[in-house]
A and B are shown apart, each in its own frame.
Chain A
Amino acid sequence: AQRVTQPEKLLSVFKGAPVELKCNYSYSGSPELFWYVQYSRQRLQLLLRHISRESIKGFTADLNKGETSFHLKKPFAQEEDSAMYYCALSSQGAQKLVFGQGTRLTINP
């Protein structure tokens, strides 16, 4: 069974501080991992995907298959980063995404 766990429901950091949102998954095959974000009063949207290995809005995430993790990191948080973040998993070739419970990130000024 596929499962995504985000252990922190709430995370609060100060502007300029580093941010790390944790994501652990369980899946026996080769997963595809994603981070989705929902800003206040906006739709859920894709932030980044592990296969692209890109930095979006200063965020990066590395897939660690040994630790079955896909943590989202940003070295210097900005107030506009405040949002709800969801980690999601898809098995290769599958259509559906399995989402974690989400972490609400608040950046304090």
Chain B
Amino acid sequence: DTGVSQNPRHKITKRGQNVTFRCDPISEHNRLYWYRQTLGQGPEFLTYFQNEAQLEKSRLLSDRFSAERPKGSFSTLEIQRTEQGDSAMYLCASRPGQMNTGELFFGEGSRLTVL
């Protein structure tokens, strides 16, 4: 499968623990996005990378959240000191940089459950 890959697919953790999600975009897609989706809502933008540069962050991304894309390929999203309100599906998407058609290629998501 050459699509966007996310790991782990499901993470259950206790409140206060740290979690990290990984996203492997489609090869040669230099733009990478993180979205969060809570139950009954549409995806909400968190942050965006062009190559290794993090160019935009949403106000939703509190200080406990950090995202990296160190070599411009895969990306990680870390949540420190998790809270129950962090329970959500975390979606990664990528697209090539040559043209902005609005088409994002999404992964299957990483579902976080904070107990």
Binding site for B on A (CB under 8 A): 4, 6, 9, 32, 34, 43-46, 49, 51, 86, 88, 90, 93, 95-102
Contact = CB atoms under 8 A, between A and B. Distances in A.
A44 B44 contact: no
Given A95-B55, A95-B56, A96-B33, A46 B102 contact: yes
27 contacts: A9-B40, A34-B102, A43-B3, A43-B4, A43-B107, A44-B43, A46-B102, A46-B103, A49-B101, A86-B42, A88-B42, A88-B102, A90-B102, A95-B31, A95-B48, A96-B33, A96-B48, A96-B56, A97-B43, A97-B45, A97-B104, A98-B45, A99-B44, A100-B42, A101-B40, A101-B42, A102-B42
Interface in B1-48: 3-4, 31, 33, 40-45, 48
A31 to B, nearest CB: 10
A97 B48 contact: no
Contacts of B55: 95
Contacts of B79: none
A100 B44 CA distance: 9
A57 B55 CA distance: 35
B108 interface: yes
Most A C-beta atoms less than 10 A away, residue of B43, B44, B91: B43
Given A43-B3, A95-B48, A95-B55, A32 B43 contact: no
Contacts of B104: 46, 97
A51 B102 CA distance: 10
B42 A45 contact: no
A46 B43 CA distance: 14
Contacts of B108: 43
A72 B88 CA distance: 27
A34 B103 CA distance: 9
Contact of B102 (A43, A45, A49, A102): A49
Contacts of B107: 43
A92 B55 CA distance: 17
